[in-house]
């Protein structure tokens, strides 16, 4: 075996400790393990002293497990006077506490207690059996004082002066039984100060914003008669909206007896306008369409855009092949639903979908899922003649062509010439060959061309179903828009019905659709068509999903067949708000039916009634003696021919107006033989009375007056 290591220099200086007390060797004292690096060092120092105590002779061999000689050599113990051991890192109060816990022993073991007082209280004494040997091995390999100062733990930093007497840091003060009460009180004071600072900061913020939670009441709209200019608290508004909607959903049990339903509704509408940004008029109209809970879901859905959807062009490819190609390009997609065989919903794309080779080759078109529905309801057949009255930008027209497999004939009309250019571009890109593009007012189509098997009218509307796509609808729609647009939609629907051939063997259908959820643009327009065209009936749309149309709304009542129409909402089906209805024409349009305003027949009737040549309208109650032939919409009697008027007096008025007309054109009215006068055919205009006869009669009347 290698020679044992001699005593360390530290042991040479301070001398061996007093012998141990045999009665206290078997005891164990375990306290909380220290977490400080300096304590770890102290533990090693204390252990080395214990080893020295067990080897008082300063044996040549060190008590390590390997039994190897020290590479630093052996050292002779020097004959030097023993100095008292200076306590290392020991608090006086801690030493007193340890001495009190020792049971007050005053025998010869006091020297040993003094020697162990330098060891930290956290050191665990285990001197029984083999445990002493294992600890001694670890302690024997400990570095000397000079070497230990240069070693740093990988997960700890060396803290210098932590145990200095001059350092009175509270965070590093040892916790003992004597000072635990003081430290606890100090910690309580610190927490109280932090809490007080936080409350003062909150009070300061509330003072700066001039808002207190207690002041935000449901009825508090103004401050001092003036509307508050401060930004609304969105979180508070949301909470208040949710609570009010909950009360309205179960009004009988949750209501406040002091508040009526109208007050609750007014309060929630005011909050909706502030939270979502709607105008008061539109918020009220939309809120009245649904139950309170569903209305809130509708407003929330309008804040989120609908998923991007593409429609496969079956004239050029199949949906499966298109899906595989786009997936290879980094597009994440899946079928839009079981109700469509050509739609693909896109979740994520690594490439712009409007610039891929497949898009440029016409394999697909970007189209909203709700735009599939009117064409699916129309269900065009091959070799038919179809009309799309408002075709731009061409999504529905090309869908119709794909269903017809490029057979038959499609007339794609749009009143805007600029939008028609985009329509032509999509038709060419998608390979449609059976479509004729025209630029007419849709009201002219019964005169331009009729006899169609099927007609699709996707009427212009307010866009209240696509608010997520166009948020400007929230504020730019007024009550005038919901009077003007329904009037146009009614006339367009009448023109569409008149353009269909009722005797078609395969068709005779009209589909009316809008991207609006308002009753004025949907059910009321359909009811108007049913009233004015007794030769049409509402039939099933053939769509497998969607909510039924209203048969009653507020004070309005509609035909029971209105259940055949379908409504679509963003919160219910994750598509744009839409309305779809389908008519079947079962007979010819009656000759005396009211024509759509703008059609040639209606224009002729209006002009004739204004000129007083063919018809005359008498407002007021009907007179049986007059013999009215029919009654107009407003209760006025429309009479055929003249009755009870003086023809000569009328001739004078006609002549006067004729002369005014000639003067505007720069023609002398007295030049009765001029070509301009003869071109006007005055005999026809005056009912067979010539200008000369009128002039002679006028002169006679003047002589009579003079006489």
- Positions marked active-site: 515
2 among annotated binding-site residues: no
The backbone torsions φ and ψ at residue 450, rounded to the nearest 5 degrees and listed phi first, read: -135, -165
> Using CA of residue 607, residue 613, residue 614, residue 616, what is the dihedral sign?
positive
Gap between the Cα atoms of 49 and 180, Å rounded: 31
3-state secondary structure of 329: coil
572 among annotated binding-site residues: no
Q: What is the 3-state secondary structure (H, E, C) of 217-279?
A: CCCCCEECCEECCCCCCHHHHHHHHHHHHHHHHCHHHHCCCCCCHHHHHHHHHHHHHHHHCCC
390 among annotated binding-site residues: yes
Helix and strand numbers (H, E) in the chain are: 27, 20
369 among annotated binding-site residues: no
395 among annotated binding-site residues: yes
Gap between the Cα atoms of 60 and 5, Å rounded: 5
The backbone torsions φ and ψ at residue 227, rounded to the nearest 5 degrees and listed phi first, read: -70, 135
- Segment holding 365, helix H or strand E: strand 364-366
Gap between the Cα atoms of 45 and 14, Å rounded: 13
DSSP assignment letter at 616 = E
User: Do the beta carbons of residue 668 and residue 662 sit within 8 Å?
Assistant: yes
393 among annotated binding-site residues: yes
Please list, in sequence order, all residues whose beta carbon lies within 8 angstroms of the beta carbon of residue 451, skipping any fewer than 6 positions away: 385, 499, 500, 501
What distance lies between CA 108 and its chain's CA centroid?
86
442 among annotated binding-site residues: no
User: Do the beta carbons of residue 142 and residue 48 sit within 8 Å?
Assistant: yes
The backbone torsions φ and ψ at residue 310, rounded to the nearest 5 degrees and listed phi first, read: -120, 150
458 among annotated binding-site residues: yes
User: Do the beta carbons of residue 649 and residue 681 sit within 8 Å?
Assistant: no
Torsion of CA 607, 609, 615, 620, to 10 degrees: 160
Please list, in sequence order, all residues whose beta carbon lies within 8 angstroms of the beta carbon of residue 499, skipping any fewer than 6 positions away: 387, 445, 446, 449, 450, 451, 452, 455
Pick from 583, 458, 470, 576: nearest CA to 517: 576
Pick from 370, 429, 363: nearest CA to 394: 429
Gap between the Cα atoms of 327 and 305, Å rounded: 23
396 among annotated binding-site residues: yes
Known binding residues are 390-396, 414, 458
Known binding residues for S-adenosyl-L-methionine are 390-396, 414, 458
């Amino acid at each position: 075996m290698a020679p044992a290591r001699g005593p360390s220099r530290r042991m040479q200086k301070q001398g061996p400790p007093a012998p141990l007390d045999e009665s206290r060797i078997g005891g164990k004292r375990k306290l909380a393990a220290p977490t400080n690096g300096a304590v770890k060092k102290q533990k090693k120092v204390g252990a080395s002293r214990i080893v020295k105590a067990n080897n008082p002779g300063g044996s040549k061999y060190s008590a390590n497990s390997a039994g190897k000689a020290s590479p630093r050599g052996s050292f002779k113990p020097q004959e030097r006077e023993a100095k008292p051991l200076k306590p290392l890192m020991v608090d006086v109060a801690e030493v007193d506490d340890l001495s009190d816990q020792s049971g007050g022993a005053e025998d010869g073991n006091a020297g040993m207690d003094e020697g162990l007082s330098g060891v930290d209280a956290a050191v665990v004494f285990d001197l029984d059996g083999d445990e002493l040997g294992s600890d001694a091995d670890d302690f024997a390999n400990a570095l000397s004082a000079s070497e230990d100062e240069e070693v740093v733990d990988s997960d700890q930093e060396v803290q210098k002066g932590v145990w200095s007497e001059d350092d009175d840091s509270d965070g590093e003060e040892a916790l003992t039984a004597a000072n635990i009460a003081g430290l606890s009180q100090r910690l309580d004071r610190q927490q109280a100060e932090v809490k007080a600072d936080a409350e003062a900061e909150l009070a300061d913020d509330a003072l700066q914003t001039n808002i207190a939670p207690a002041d935000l009441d449901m009825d508090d709209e103004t401050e001092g008669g003036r509307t508050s200019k401060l930004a609304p608290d969105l979180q508070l508004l949301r909470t208040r909206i949710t609570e009010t909607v909950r009360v309205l959903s179960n009004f009988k049990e949750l209501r406040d007896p002091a508040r009526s339903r109208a007050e609750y509704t007014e309060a929630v509408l005011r909050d909706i306008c502030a939270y979502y940004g709607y105008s008061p008029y539109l918020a009220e109209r939309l809120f009245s369409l649904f139950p309170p809970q569903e209305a809130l879901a509708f407003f929330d859905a309008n804040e989120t855009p609908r998923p991007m959807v593409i429609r496969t062009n079956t004239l050029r490819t199949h949906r499966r092949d298109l899906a595989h190609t786009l997936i290879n390009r980094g597009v994440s997609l899946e079928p839009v639903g079981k109700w469509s065989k050509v739609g693909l919903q896109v979740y994520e794309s690594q490439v712009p979908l409007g610039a891929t080779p497949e898009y440029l080759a016409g394999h697909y078109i970007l189209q909203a899922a709700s735009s599939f529905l009117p064409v699916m309801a129309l269900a065009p057949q091959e070799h038919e003649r179809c009309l799309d009255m408002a075709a731009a930008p061409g999504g529905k027209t090309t869908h119709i062509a794909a269903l017809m497999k490029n057979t038959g004939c499609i007339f794609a009309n749009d009143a805007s010439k600029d939008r028609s250019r985009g329509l032509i571009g999509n038709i060419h890109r998608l390979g449609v060959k059976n479509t004729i593009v025209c630029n007419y007012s849709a009201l002219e189509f019964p005169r331009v061309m009729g006899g169609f098997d099927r007609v699709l009218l996707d009427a212009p509307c307010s866009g209240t179903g696509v608010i997520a796509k166009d948020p400007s609808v929230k504020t730019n729609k007024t009550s005038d828009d919901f009077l003007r647009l329904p009037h146009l939609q009614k006339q367009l629907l009448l023109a569409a019905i008149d353009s269909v051939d009722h005797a078609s063997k395969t068709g005779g259908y009209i589909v009316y659709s809008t991207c609006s959820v308002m009753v004025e643009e949907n059910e009321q327009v359909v009811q108007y068509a049913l009233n004015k065209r007794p030769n049409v009936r509402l039939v099933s749309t053939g769509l497998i999903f969607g909510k039924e149309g209203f048969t009653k709304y507020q004070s309005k009542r509609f035909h029971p067949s209105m259940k055949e129409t379908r409504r679509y909402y963003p919160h219910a089906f994750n598509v744009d708000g839409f309305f779809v209805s389908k008519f079947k024409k079962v007979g010819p349009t009656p000759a005396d039916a009211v024509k759509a305003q703008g059609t040639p027949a209606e224009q002729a009737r209006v002009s004739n009634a204004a000129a007083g040549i063919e018809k005359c309208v008498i407002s007021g109650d009907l007179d049986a003696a007059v013999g009215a032939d029919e009654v107009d919409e407003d209760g006025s009697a429309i009479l055929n021919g003249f009755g009870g008027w003086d023809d000569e007096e009328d001739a004078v008025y006609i002549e006067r107006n004729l002369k005014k007309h000639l003067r505007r054109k720069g023609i002398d009215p007295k030049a009765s033989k001029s070509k301009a006068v003869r071109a006007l055919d005055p005999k026809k205009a005056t009912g067979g009375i010539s200008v000369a006869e009128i002039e002679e009669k006028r002169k006679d009347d003047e002589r009579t007056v003079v006489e």
